[in-house]
Amino acid sequence: MVWQKLFGERATTKLVAVFDTAAAAEDAAGKIKSSAGLNTGQVRILVPGDSRFDIKIEPEPAGVARTAVRTHVAFGSIGFVVGVLLWFVLFMTRFELVRGTPIASAVAVVFFLTMAGLLFGGFLTLRPDHQVLITRLRSALEEGKWCVVIHPRSPEECDQVEALLDSEGAQTMRSI
């Protein structure tokens, strides 16, 4: 998908399976690795009170930084171009305020639309779909549950892992 080129992470989707016991979590993680062909870095087990919670959920900090740069550059540029086009249309339609103050109005319109693009880029960098998943995951860990976090790198891997988890009867959550 074209929109995924904005993201710097290799695995943009996260799957989480919640289990009551360590044995069930470890069994599921082993099956996922062997059946779906995922490597150890893509399948992580979280235990209640895990001190490496953040690393296991977001294992690609450099990818997150690339995402921040890409989304800000892309949407800031889009905002800039839209601002210039909007100002030009307003100027050509003889909008009096724009005609009377062409430089100030151009600066204002372009500035605000560029800022809107940058804000949207920041919003995408925060990955609100991941925040919902992380909140639910944290709650499960606080309840003493064991969780398996899976980072599939393709839609095929994602579908394969979801089918496997469904057959295991695990409670699953997924980001976009």
26-73 per-position pLDDT tens digit: 888 888 887 777 777 788 888 887 767 777 777 666 777 888 888 899
Q: Note if the pTM is more than 0.85.
A: no
Identify the DSSP state of 91. H
Asked if the structure places residue 36 within a domain, the reply is yes
Asked if the structure places residue 136 within a domain, the reply is no
Please check whether residue 48 is in contact with residue 144, taking contact to mean a CB–CB distance below 8 angstroms.
Answer: yes
Asked if the structure places residue 119 within a domain, the reply is yes
49 by Cβ neighbours in 10 Å (0-12 / 13-18 / 19+) ranks as exposed
Are 84 and 114 members of one domain? Answer: yes
107-123 per-position pLDDT tens digit: 999 999 999 999 999 98
Token pair 């989304």: residue: 71
Are 111 and 148 members of one domain? Answer: no
Are 33 and 84 members of one domain? Answer: no
65-79 per-position pLDDT tens digit: 888 888 899 999 999
Look up the domain containing 77 and give its range: 63-126
Asked if the structure places residue 57 within a domain, the reply is no
